[in-house]
A and B are shown apart, each in its own frame.
Chain A
Amino acid sequence: MTTVEARGIGKRYRKFVAVDDVSFTLEPGRTTALVGQSGSGKSTIAKLLLQLERPTTGQILVDGEPVARRGAAAARYRRTVQMVFQDPYASLNPFHSVGHHLERPVRLHHRDLTGPQVRERVLHLLERVRLTPAEEVARRRPHELSGGQRQRVAIARALAPEPGILIADEPVSMLDVSIRLGVLNLLATLQREEQLAVLYITHDLATARHFSDDILVMYQGRIVERGPADEVILNPRHEYTKLLAEAAPNPERRIKNLQA
């Protein structure tokens, strides 16, 4: 059970302000959607939370404590926050087997495990993301898997250190429409089982509404609107949110227009 809080974080690259004074809290068992157009700073927020970049202003707190930069506390933070990347074709190393991708995080975060125990965990992870037969999948190389299967491997990898917080950066935008729902449902199931706090980054309002409890709308590096998912979608207040809601396909509106 971990809570991560971003307090007034900002990131500027030289003169360009990517993220400006953003605050939010990720709580166990809740999914927060971060919605916004390309370049609005969504992925920068993910990088800041993952400590791949340092915020220029503000700070990130874990259970009320500021995040450590190095040492044992930093390693603990690594275990706490994990990420599923956008592009499953780029996020798996073409040189290594699926087993290697899962084995490393398991080993790194559970140093006392023996070889067979690690192996067992890897197979268990694969079964949890419905990749069976696990023995065989573990032996395969990423290029032998489909996009959806790769993304399942990426999810299993993110779960390997047993994190409290999962960041999913547009986890289905690179996948076929037909398998998106399966991957999203899998994420939702795993979240319920583990009581994860999930930050779901997307620009798809429909899935954001369906899968998350709260929605944050980002526009040009700022959060312009926030609230419970239905509230934000049904009663958008900010101009940009209205535009987004308009742009989403709406069969009812379409039928009304046709009848008129």
Chain B
Amino acid sequence: MSARVPVPRTAKLRAGLVIGGFIVLFGLLGPLVVQDPSRVDDIGLTGPGGGHWLGTTQTGQDVLAQLAYATRGSLTVGAVVGVLTLLLSAFFGIVGAYAGGWVDEAFSLFTNVMLVIPGLPLVIVISSYVPDKSLLLVSLVLSLTGWAGSARVLRGYTLSLRNRDYVLASRVAGERRWRILGVEILPNLIPLLASQVVFAVIFAILGEAGLSYLGLGASGSFTWGTMLYYAQNGLALRLGAWWWFIPPGLLLALFGAALSLVNFSIDEVINPKLRDQTRAARRGWRMSRAQLEKAKEATL
């Protein structure tokens, strides 16, 4: 099957993909070339220069190396939560709405219950039970508390799709129920699914950073959040060690922005009305100078 949805190649999409792509590449390849991020050196807190492009932390650890591993860690959390959220929300949202009846009622009730479970207290509770949290556990908790919103969005859209004429037509043609869901309904949900996943990834990376910053994150692993946490503990701000906290903060903000830009572009695919709402698009409707001249001549 070829790409069915025409994706407008806007500047927004391009910028988002380029920035996001660079960060992902850095996370994938960076750890292969940098030194050991935990290696302690007796040079202490030093600024960028010499052997350390981004300087060192209080204990002489290379910030660039830490940043590479932290990028990998944060992206891992994002990817795991993205996939888990996709699976959970698709199952409870789409399947429930399509099956209808008591299945829908039960799934919808469960979704609503999960929606109001607050993530932060849950993680605090879990962290008090599990002393040695892995990155995977944190991702699991984040996805368990994050999928319900998408499930509700997907449920609403599926409810509208399942009664479209073309779905009825394939029932009349004698298609099996699950084939109708997979072949007739699901492809029309792809843009919505994509935007929900992108949103889930942003939510997960920011959420993990927040948890780590509070000291509730995964123990013994590098993420942007843990870097900020250690920078804060090491009084980086008061010591003026900008090279310690600005790089992780900047990458965090940039990656969030990149994914948001991608998401806006997906929104424009789902809802073409949004496409004409930018100033650039509206400027395109104006008459050009030559057309104006012509119109003036015609009216004279």
Q: What is the interface of chain A, defined by CB distance below 8 A to chain B?
A: 50, 52, 75, 78-79, 81-83, 85-87, 90-96, 104-105, 108-109, 141, 154, 157, 160-161
B173 touches A78 (CB 8 A): yes
Q: Is B4 an interface residue (CB 8 A)?
A: yes
Cβ of B188: which chain A residues have Cβ within 8 Å of it? Answer: 93-95
* A87-B165 Cα distance, complex, nearest whole Å: 8
Cβ of B14: which chain A residues have Cβ within 8 Å of it? Answer: none
Cβ of B4: which chain A residues have Cβ within 8 Å of it? Answer: 95, 141
A79 touches B172 (CB 8 A): no
Cβ of A81: which chain B residues have Cβ within 8 Å of it? Answer: 172
Tell me how far the C-beta of B151 lies from the nearest C-beta in chain A, rounded to whole angstroms: 22
A-B interface, 3 closest residue pairs, ranked by CB to CB distance from nearest: A91-B165, A78-B174, A90-B165
A157 touches B171 (CB 8 A): no
* A157-B175 Cα distance, complex, nearest whole Å: 13
Cβ of A109: which chain B residues have Cβ within 8 Å of it? Answer: 174
Cβ of A90: which chain B residues have Cβ within 8 Å of it? Answer: 164-166
Tell me how far the C-beta of B68 lies from the nearest C-beta in chain A, rounded to whole angstroms: 41
A85 with B169, Cβ < 8 A, contacts A95-B4, A95-B187 known: yes
Cβ of A86: which chain B residues have Cβ within 8 Å of it? Answer: 165
Cβ of A154: which chain B residues have Cβ within 8 Å of it? Answer: 169
A50 touches B172 (CB 8 A): yes
B172 touches A104 (CB 8 A): no
Tell me how far the C-beta of B4 lies from the nearest C-beta in chain A, rounded to whole angstroms: 5
Cβ of B166: which chain A residues have Cβ within 8 Å of it? Answer: 90-93
* A91-B170 Cα distance, complex, nearest whole Å: 9
Residue of B nearest to A74 (CB): B174
Q: Is B267 an interface residue (CB 8 A)?
A: no
B169-195 interface with A by 8 A CB criterion: 169-175, 183-184, 187-188
Q: Given A52, A95, A96, A161, which contacts B174 in the complex, CB threshold below 8 Å?
A: A161
Q: Is B168 an interface residue (CB 8 A)?
A: yes
Cβ of B174: which chain A residues have Cβ within 8 Å of it? Answer: 75, 78-79, 105, 108-109, 161
Chain B contact-residue range equals 10 to 19
B172 touches A78 (CB 8 A): yes
Cβ of B164: which chain A residues have Cβ within 8 Å of it? Answer: 90
Tell me how far the C-beta of A74 lies from the nearest C-beta in chain B, rounded to whole angstroms: 9
* A93-B165 Cα distance, complex, nearest whole Å: 9
Chain B positions 144 through 169: 1 when the CB is less than 8 Å from some CB of chain A, otherwise 0: 00000000000000000000111011
B184-216 interface with A by 8 A CB criterion: 184, 187-188
B187 touches A104 (CB 8 A): no
A83 touches B170 (CB 8 A): no
B165 touches A104 (CB 8 A): no
Interface centre among A96, A109, A160 (most CB of B within 10 A): A96
A93 touches B184 (CB 8 A): yes
Q: Given A85, A108, A141, which contacts B165 in the complex, CB threshold below 8 Å?
A: A85
- Given contact pairs A85-B169, A90-B166, enumerate 15 new A-B contacts (beta carbons under 8 Å): A52-B172, A78-B174, A79-B174, A81-B172, A83-B172, A86-B165, A91-B169, A93-B166, A94-B188, A95-B184, A95-B188, A105-B173, A108-B174, A109-B174, A161-B173
* A107-B4 Cα distance, complex, nearest whole Å: 23
Cβ of B183: which chain A residues have Cβ within 8 Å of it? Answer: 96
A157 with B169, Cβ < 8 A, contacts A105-B174, A109-B174 known: yes
* A108-B169 Cα distance, complex, nearest whole Å: 13
Tell me how far the C-beta of B1 lies from the nearest C-beta in chain A, rounded to whole angstroms: 9
Residue of A nearest to B169 (CB): A91
Cβ of A85: which chain B residues have Cβ within 8 Å of it? Answer: 165, 168-169
Residue of A nearest to B2 (CB): A97
* A52-B4 Cα distance, complex, nearest whole Å: 29
Can you name 9 A-B pairs with beta carbons within 8 Å?
A52-B172, A82-B172, A83-B169, A85-B165, A87-B165, A90-B164, A92-B166, A94-B188, A96-B187
Residue of B nearest to A154 (CB): B169
Q: Given B168, B173, B187, which contacts A108 in the complex, CB threshold below 8 Å?
A: B173
* A96-B173 Cα distance, complex, nearest whole Å: 15
Residue of B nearest to A106 (CB): B173
* A154-B183 Cα distance, complex, nearest whole Å: 18
Residue of B nearest to A109 (CB): B174
Cβ of A50: which chain B residues have Cβ within 8 Å of it? Answer: 172
* A105-B175 Cα distance, complex, nearest whole Å: 8
Residue of A nearest to B170 (CB): A104
Cβ of A75: which chain B residues have Cβ within 8 Å of it? Answer: 174
* A96-B2 Cα distance, complex, nearest whole Å: 10
A104 touches B173 (CB 8 A): yes
* A81-B165 Cα distance, complex, nearest whole Å: 16
Cβ of B172: which chain A residues have Cβ within 8 Å of it? Answer: 50, 52, 78, 81-83
B168 touches A52 (CB 8 A): yes
* A203-B183 Cα distance, complex, nearest whole Å: 35
Cβ of A95: which chain B residues have Cβ within 8 Å of it? Answer: 4, 184, 187-188
A52 with B169, Cβ < 8 A, contacts A90-B164, A93-B184, A93-B188 known: no
